[in-house]
């Protein structure tokens, strides 16, 4: 099994990603670390625990991390995710505890304790917590197997500004630290997630499960989609964060290439833009595996099959 830590700001699509991870025996979820993003930290950590309980995993460890980006004020996305960040399903207040340890301390301790090169960080929100780890304990960077993140977009444009994707825009300095860390980085950008559409037919396959996780998935997807479908004029809205987990499980569903990726953290008009040297027109180092293609049918087959095994 592959050891992962999920760093997240749930978020309906984060929730689906967490469910997919719990439903996958190939993955060992060492902990879930919450960060401020879609909504403030006080909500994302509660949402993370709600999802653990939904998945029948009240034993999972959830930690609260950074409540604001490194250098900028927090920008949230209630206009997409609703007031709670997890609007849609009717999930009860969690009974499982929040861990006392700070998320950043937990990640540092885990990287120190686990075998070098064995822990993968899955980032589903702004990269603030992970940047704090790299700032405070840069000597641990070589011990991280990989950072797999949902963020950015180049060919498709942005979703929070014309050039920036939300996770990167919220904390561009953190994203830049991650990209310059020397840790292998895999990027699942909007260029991928805008090809993964939650059509009505696909949502029906969740409904057909007849389980509590299936029903909650329908409510999550239907709420989340409302915003995007209208906006993008497609049959179904894009589904972002579960691509990170799907990539770990079945990388053959995706296609990309190693190239240089830099984040604009300085200019107002293009703040948070991921500048991708896809054609190798600079001699800047290839610091990321940037994914552009996805087998969307294969993705949904995987997601739906796995989630159907949850309670």
Q: How far is CA 33 from CA 108, 153, 265, in A?
A: 12, 24, 24
Contact window for ligand BDR (CB under 6 A) among 164-172, 215-223, 253-261, 268-276: 164-172
Quick one: which of 199, 222, 203 has its CA closest to 89?
222
203 Cα distance to chain centroid? 20
Is residue 7 part of the contact set for ligand BDR (CB under 6 A)? no
Q: Which of 107, 124, 259, 261 binds ligand BDR (CB under 6 A)?
A: 124
Contact pattern from residue 238 through residue 277 relative to Ca ion, giving x for each residue in contact according to CB under 5 A and a dash for the rest: ---x------------------------------------
> Can you tell me which of 7, 45, 225, 241 binds ligand BDR, judged by CB under 6 A?
241
CB 37 within 8 A of CB 10: no
Known catalytic residue at 258: no
Q: How many CB atoms lie within 10 A of CB 298?
A: 14
Q: Give me 62's structure tokens.
A: 């959830």
Torsion angle defined by CA atoms of residues 69, 292, 254 and 131, in that order, rounded to the nearest 10 degrees: -20
Q: Work out whether 167 is an interface residue with ligand BDR (CB under 6 A).
A: yes
Q: Return the C-alpha torsion angle 241, 242, 248, 252, nearest 10.
A: -110
Which one among 47, 76, 159, 274 touches ligand BDR, defined by CB under 6 A? 159
Q: Least separation, in Å, of the C-beta of 150 and ligand BDR?
A: 5
Q: Which does 80 bind (CB under 5 to 8 A by kind): ligand BDR, Ca ion, none?
A: ligand BDR
C-alpha span between 104 and 163 (Å, rounded): 29
CB-count exposure of residue 267 (10 Å: 0-12, 13-18, 19+): exposed
Number of residues engaging Ca ion in binding (CB under 5 A)? 6
Taking Cα atoms as reference points, which of 107, 138, 134 lies closest to residue 120?
107
Contact partner at residue 77 from Ca ion, ligand BDR, none, CB < 5 to 8 Å by partner kind: ligand BDR
The answer to the question of residue 276 lying near ligand BDR (CB under 6 A) is no
Nearest to 23 by CA among 47, 56, 69: 56
When the beta carbons of 190 and 249 are compared against ligand BDR, the nearer one is 190
Instruction: Pick out residues in 27-86 that bind ligand BDR (CB under 6 A).
Output: 38, 77, 80
Q: Which does 165 bind (CB under 5 to 8 A by kind): ligand BDR, Ca ion, none?
A: ligand BDR
Per-residue HEC secondary structure of 110-161 comes to HHHHCCCCCEEEEECCCCHHHHHHHHHCHHHHHHEEEEEEECCCCCCCCCCC
Question: What track of x and - describes contact with ligand BDR for positions 180 through 199 (by CB under 6 A)?
Answer: --------------------
Question: Which DSSP category does 175 fall into?
Answer: H
Find the catalytic residue in 81, 132, 194, 240. Answer: 240
Q: Does 190 bind Ca ion (CB under 5 A)?
A: no
Name the binder of 186 from ligand BDR, Ca ion, none, CB < 5-8 A by kind.
Answer: none
Written as six digits, the tokens of 92 are 């009860």
Active site residues: 240
Q: What are the residues binding Ca ion (CB under 5 A)?
A: 9, 11, 14, 124-125, 241
Instruction: Catalog residues that contact ligand BDR under the rule CB under 6 A.
Output: 11, 13-14, 38, 77, 80, 124-125, 150, 159, 165-167, 240-241
């Amino acid at each position: 099994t592959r050891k992962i830590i999920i760093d997240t700001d749930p978020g309906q699509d984060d929730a689906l990603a967490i469910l997919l991870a719990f439903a996958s025996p190939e993955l060992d979820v060492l902990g879930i670390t919450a960060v401020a993003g879609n909504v403030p930290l006080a909500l994302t950590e509660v949402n993370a625990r709600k999802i653990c309980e939904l998945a029948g995993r009240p034993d999972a460890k959830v930690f609260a991390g950074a409540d604001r980006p490194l250098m900028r004020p927090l920008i949230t996305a209630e206009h997409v995710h609703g007031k709670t960040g997890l609007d849609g399903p009717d999930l009860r207040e969690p009974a499982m505890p929040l861990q006392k340890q700070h998320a950043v301390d937990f990640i540092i301790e885990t990287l120190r304790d686990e075998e070098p090169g064995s822990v993968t960080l899955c980032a589903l929100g702004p990269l603030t917590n992970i940047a704090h780890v790299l700032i405070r304990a840069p000597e641990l960077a070589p011990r991280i197997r990989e950072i797999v993140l949902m963020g950015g977009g180049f060919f498709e444009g942005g979703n929070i500004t014309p050039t920036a994707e939300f996770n990167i825009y919220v904390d561009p300095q953190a994203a830049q630290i991650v990209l310059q860390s020397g840790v292998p980085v895999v990027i699942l950008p909007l260029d991928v997630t805008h090809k993964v559409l939650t059509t009505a037919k696909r949502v029906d396959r969740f409904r057909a499960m007849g389980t509590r996780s299936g029903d909650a998935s329908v409510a999550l997807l239907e709420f989340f989609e409302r915003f995007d479908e209208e906006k993008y004029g497609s049959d179904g809205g894009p589904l972002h964060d579960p691509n990170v987990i799907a990539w770990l499980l079945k990388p053959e569903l995706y296609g990309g290439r190693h190239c240089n990726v830099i984040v604009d953290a300085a200019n107002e008009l293009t703040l948070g833009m991921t500048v991708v040297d896809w054609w190798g027109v600079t001699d800047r180092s290839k610091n990321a595996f940037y994914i552009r293609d996805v087998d969307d049918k294969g993705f949904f087959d995987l997601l739906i099959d796995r989630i159907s095994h949850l309670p």
